[in-house]
Structure 1
Amino acid sequence: MLSVGVYGLGLCVILLLGGCASKAPAPVGGWDWVGPVPDGYYLIRRGDTLSEVATRHGVGLRTLAGWNGLESPYSIYAGRLLRVAPPDGSPAPQPSAPRRTPAVVAAPATPERAAQATGTPKAPQAGPAAASGVSWAWPLQGSLAQRFSAGDRTRQGIRIRARAGTQVKAAADGQVVYSGSGLEGYGNLIIIKHNDKYLSAYGFNRRLLVAEGDRVTRGQAVAEVGQAVDGGGYLLHFEIRRDGTAVDPLLYLPPRS
């Protein structure tokens, strides 16, 4: 059975969502940056925000965003390099005094957080699906071979059993931003961008039916199952990603009848 290359898809997601556009060194030794961080760059850590990085380095938020080709809402991703010095080496402009912001009140636990904390599958809720602004549908019918687990890098999506040749359908309207087999561990892979926040990915296909740049509608065939074998049939690996981070697809897909 094929194993999931989580870092591979992570980088692909970052690039597709318009990551750093400056001439930063390319990642080496894998999909995340490995080795010493070059002068003038910062290695983004989990939980960082562009505003925090700008404050630490004495750079204005918009200036830092401009050096890295970022646009609002200035999303950045762990494992990537961020330019924190001017491209020409000139002194960085000083940021203006930060504005006072009201204290943040912790939000109540969401169904998604509850599902991840307990490990118990939850019925899809209207909340996450409605908030996504996307009308989701199942990519195919079949029994679940694997569920999502937020703490397991090999379980960043769900796997659905089906017969070889079964058509894989687009889970929502969008544009194909990747169609190929270049990401190790995903086999023949389709990635569809639905809006500025959400992507869906379809791996382990024997045949791809759409090309990069194609516009697709929910329910349109985009691939055929038949590359990865499971004891109960062939598998589709399916992910939904929000701002580049994998989320539980079962919280977005409609209930099955």
Structure 2
Amino acid sequence: MSILRALREGSADVRLTAAQRGVCVLALSVLAACSTRMDMAPVVDRTGAPIPTDAAQAAAAANVPPPPGYYRVKPGDTLYRIALENGQNYHDIAAWNNLTNPNQIEVGQLVRVAPPGANLAAATPGVATAPIGGGAVQSQPLGGAQQPGVTAGATPGAAAQPPYYGPSSGMGAAPGAAASVPGVDNSAAAATQPAFIWPARGPIIGTFDEAKNKGLNIGGAAGDAVNASADGRVVYSGNGLRGYGNLIIIKHDATFLTAYAHNRALMVKEGDAVTKGQKIAEMGNSDSDRVMLHFEVRRQGKPVDPLKYLPPQ
């Protein structure tokens, strides 16, 4: 009977010297290490290919583009940010996805960001929906219809008439608004976006930059009034979005929303209907290194240059 076999079977007849015991301990250690490495080896199928783990499957899924009307969750995402980036109310997104706890979303998860039954191509950010032809700009009530779209490549605010003209702006009709466009039904092509006003008075200390600054920074003193830029409904009021501080988001229609960040105090709550010029907050420096209002205009969830939508100061 060998020494190792005797040790394994617990034989009492084996008498070992100190040197032999040392050799046995070393041999058993090597066997244990080999066994451990075998236990950690990946399971393979009959073709010899490794079976992917859950992490590998999630990573592979993250590289698949989401279908129209859906968003794939990325690291660091919150439902609030997903809603802002897609121009929706986070309560609606939670309902469309049967999320009982809005804080429980996972990286790689597909989230519906367009209403069930909606035109997904029109409701997906990045699809051009700029107005075609002339026509006076009019305010649109909350929840109104989507405005007509045109081919890709149109630039928001690049129409012949600045977007702040219209009956509700107090500036009269846009120059040339009555002119017809050959081959276009101007009555159907009229723009239907809000007539925005400046949300605060103060110097411009930061302009729009699609890569670095998604809005306009307006300077001022702590406590200065922050006003609603157009009629709408508050879809967010709180401080749950990192980098925005005390934030208010107002949805004006099916296309446009505005965001007001870094406030000292919030005067409205979610669900409130607000009117253009109504005081909704006080300027502050929450989550900012100085007192200012960070103001964003978003069209179909995509940030656009507010200066193209605001009247001259």
TM-score when scaled to structure 1? Answer: 0.59
> In the alignment, which residue of structure 2 is the partner of 1:22?
97
Pairwise CA RMSD = 3.7
> In the alignment, which residue of structure 2 is the partner of 1:206?
264
Deviations 1:203-248 (A, max 9, x none): 00010001111111100000001125988x6110100111111111
> In the alignment, which residue of structure 2 is the partner of 1:247?
304
Q: Which has the higher contact order (CA 8 A, sep 6+)?
A: 1
Give the aligned residue type for 2:96.
A
Question: 1:174/1:106 Cα in 2 relative to 1: closer, same or farther (>3 Å)?
Answer: closer
Give me the whole-angstrom Cα distance separating, in 1, the residues matched to 2:103 and 2:258: 26
| Structure 2 segments unaligned to the other structure (5+ residues) | 1-75, 127-149, 166-190
Asked whether 1:234 is paired with 2:281, we answer no
Give the aligned residue type for 2:255.
K
Give me the whole-angstrom Cα distance separating, in 2, the residues matched to 1:207 and 1:252: 26
Give me the whole-angstrom Cα distance separating, in 1, the residues matched to 2:97 and 2:287: 41
Kindly indicate which of the two structures has a greater share of residues assigned to strand. 1
Give me the whole-angstrom Cα distance separating, in 2, the residues matched to 1:12 and 1:204: 19
Contact 1:172 1:194 (8 Å CA) reproduced: yes
Give the aligned residue type for 1:238.
F
Question: 1:183/1:229 Cα in 2 relative to 1: closer, same or farther (>3 Å)?
Answer: closer
Asked whether 1:76 is paired with 2:124, we answer yes
Post-superposition offset of 1:70: 2.3
- The structure whose Rg is larger is 2
How many residues of Structure 1 are paired with residues of Structure 2 in the alignment?
Answer: 183
Post-superposition offset of 1:110: 4.1
Identity %: 39
Query: Counterparts in 2 of 1:42-57, with a 5 A limit?
Result: none
> In the alignment, which residue of structure 2 is the partner of 1:57?
none
SS, match of residue 156 in structure 1: coil
SS, match of residue 160 in structure 1: strand
> In the alignment, which residue of structure 2 is the partner of 1:126?
161
| Structure 1 segments unaligned to the other structure (5+ residues) | 1-5, 45-64, 79-103, 114-123
Contact 1:205 1:228 (8 Å CA) reproduced: yes
Asked whether 1:137 is paired with 2:197, we answer yes
TM-score when scaled to structure 2? Answer: 0.49
Query: Counterparts in 2 of 1:1-257, with a 5 A limit?
Result: 10-13=81-84, 14=86, 15-16=88-89, 18-19=92-93, 21-23=96-98, 34-35=107-108, 69-74=115-120, 75-76=123-124, 110=155, 112=157, 126-129=161-164, 131-150=191-210, 152=211, 154-228=212-286, 234-256=291-313
Deviations 1:82-138 (A, max 9, x none): xxxxxxxxxxxxxxxxxxxxxx9666x64757xxxxxxxxxx973445635201100
SS, match of residue 195 in structure 1: coil
Give the aligned residue type for 1:70.
P
Give the aligned residue type for 1:126.
Q
Stretches (4+) displaced over 6 A:
24-29
Deviations 1:53-103 (A, max 9, x none): xxxxxxxxxxxx9xx75233322359xxxxxxxxxxxxxxxxxxxxxxxxx
Post-superposition offset of 1:149: 1.2
SS, match of residue 307 in structure 2: helix
Give me the whole-angstrom Cα distance separating, in 2, the residues matched to 1:163 and 1:126: 34
